[in-house]
Amino acid sequence: MTIKIWKFFDREELYECYQCARCTGSCPAMEVTAALGPRGTILKCLNLGHEAVVQDEKVWFCCTCNVCDDRCPQQIPISDLLVALRNSAARRGNVPGRLLLSLELLAKTGRTMIVHQLDEMRAHHGLAPLPPAPVDEVRAILKRAGLEEVLDF
Amino acid sequence: MKYALYLGCAIPIKYPGFEAATRLVCERLGIELVDDLPFSCCPPPTGLKMVHYDSWLALAARNLCLAEEAGLDLLTLCSGCVNTLKEANQALKHSDAKRRRVNKILEAHNRKFNGAIEVTHILDVLYQDSVVDKLIKLMAREIPLRVGCHYGCHYFRPPQMMYPNELSEAESYVPVRMDHLLSIIGVEPTEYSRKFLCCGSPLGANVDTEAGYAIVAQKLHYIRQRNIQALSVICPSCFEQFDMGQIALSRKQKDLSKIPTFYLTQLIGLALGFSPKELGLDVHRVKAKRLLESIDVA
């Protein structure tokens, strides 16, 4: 199932952007990858429509650090835009593989980290074993919330 | 002073030393931790939230409900956890539609989000006047090191969500609490360029490990310029970037000096007189032993 991103983000906000690029100038991901960057993302949404953006794998080249949102002189909620775009991308199957793997782990174990020789490691620091996470309840909640739209588990 | 302790995933599983240090410090400073609540993953603002917002909100709400049921505020030890749980708490308190949607999912498990508690982070708990007074009284030694603080983006951004009552005129928030707290234990908090920018962890974890390390390499460049001797962090993901990241980077560039990284409660713990081993410093990849010996801590 696909969703319209405008359900999560007010399209009018895009027109507030005057392309000053203060966001992109602050963006750590832009410096080390061929990311779209916040300014480019907004411009592409306006010029090409959001469909073009959500099909581009570069929409995931981001630290989610929110510095763009923090520094925007027009106070455009860029973080919300990026969440909406990626949620939409995920429903079209555009998600980085390793991110999907970590979510699969979450759905299977209730935690996003692999537990390996954990008891010994915790005992080394004088800590009791970690109780298991409530997997059944977590899975039921994720199913009812609709996670199966993007992930089989 | 009593909190529901929310450990999250990375600290109890990857860095239990931080948990040990936090428990020792809290006990010494009279902060009671209740930790038998069956929490799950927070889930992370860098992961599930990006992929499926509704699932992220529902699972975060469940964790909030557990603390509500215990009648306690939630204490987190990680910038990611505090971001998710604070933002979900705010979103659910302020939106009837979201609260209705989430409660409909949770009712099958006899849970209901009421918005009765607050979410906080260990740094903000330690920063309270009564705790600082106690720390000053119980301090066993000073830690005279030049330390660079790295707060971790999700601890304070977006500021409207994380610190809505403490915004500057530009509606922003510049964190200072870690610097202030460390200055109390004799640390010389040292500014550096790009202090408030990302460590690169989410980019590395989700997309490209090398790109994540390239970001931390830039930060380290500015940190070295200021002759900073050690780093202090309040998030396990940031820690991993600096600690493991320096090992990975030094494989390519052999002559780089390495800077030890501490989790905040490890530094406070040293000042309270606990040994490096008790605080879990023995398992860090970049060893702090020689640096600590130089200030007579062993």
Q: Where do the CATH 1.20.1050.140 domains begin and end in chain B?
A: 2-122
Arithmetic mean of pLDDT, A15-27 = 96
Residue B205 CA to residue A26 CA, distance in Å, equals 20
Q: Considering A70, A91, A112, which residue would you say is the last residue of a domain? A: A91
Is residue A7 within 8 angstroms of chain B, CB to CB? no
Arithmetic mean of pLDDT, A87-107 = 95
Residue B265 binned pLDDT confidence (cut-offs 50, 70, 90): very high
Q: To the nearest whole percent, how much of chain A has pLDDT over 90?
A: 88
CATH 3.40.50.300 fits domain B2-122: no
Scanning every residue of chain B, which has its alpha carbon at the shortest distance from the alpha carbon of A113?
B9
pTM (whole model) above 0.90: yes
Residue B270 CA to residue B272 CA, distance in Å, equals 5
Q: Looking at chain A from residue 11 to 40, which residues have their Cβ under 8 Å from any Cβ of chain B?
A: 26, 28-29, 31-33
pLDDT digits (tens, 9 = 90+) for B149-202: 999 999 999 999 999 999 998 889 999 999 999 999 999 999 999 999 999 999
pLDDT digits (tens, 9 = 90+) for B51-73: 999 999 999 999 999 999 999 99
Scanning every residue of chain A, which has its alpha carbon at the shortest distance from the alpha carbon of B106?
A141
Q: Considering A72, A91, A110, which residue would you say is the last residue of a domain? A: A91
Instruction: Please list every residue in chain A whose beta carbon sits closer than 8 Å to the beta carbon of residue B40.
Output: 110-111, 133-134, 137-138
Per the structure, the count of domains in chain A is 2
Query: Would you identify the CATH topology of the domain B140-293?
Result: Rossmann fold (3.40.50)
The interface predicted TM-score (ipTM) is 0.96
Q: What is the DSSP letter of B108?
A: G
Q: Where do the CATH 3.40.50.11810 domains begin and end in chain B?
A: 140-293
CA B276 from chain center: how many Å? Answer: 19
Cβ of B16 and A65 within 8 Å?
no
Note whether A11 and A64 are same-domain residues: yes
Q: Which domain holds residue A82?
A: 5-91
Note whether A12 and A86 are same-domain residues: yes
Residue B65 CA to residue B59 CA, distance in Å, equals 10
Cβ of B19 and A110 within 8 Å?
no
Which of B86, B206, B213, B215 to mutate against chain A (most A CBs within 10 Å)? B206
Cβ of A87 and B196 within 8 Å?
no
pLDDT digits (tens, 9 = 90+) for B25-52: 999 999 999 998 999 999 999 999 999 9
Q: What is the DSSP letter of A128?
A: P
Residue B101 CA to residue A145 CA, distance in Å, equals 9
Note whether A109 and A139 are same-domain residues: yes
Cβ of B49 and A145 within 8 Å?
no
Note whether A116 and A64 are same-domain residues: no
Cβ of A70 and B159 within 8 Å?
yes
Note whether A12 and A87 are same-domain residues: yes
Is residue A52 within 8 angstroms of chain B, CB to CB? no
User: A29: domain CATH number?
Assistant: 1.10.1060.10
Note whether A56 and A113 are same-domain residues: no
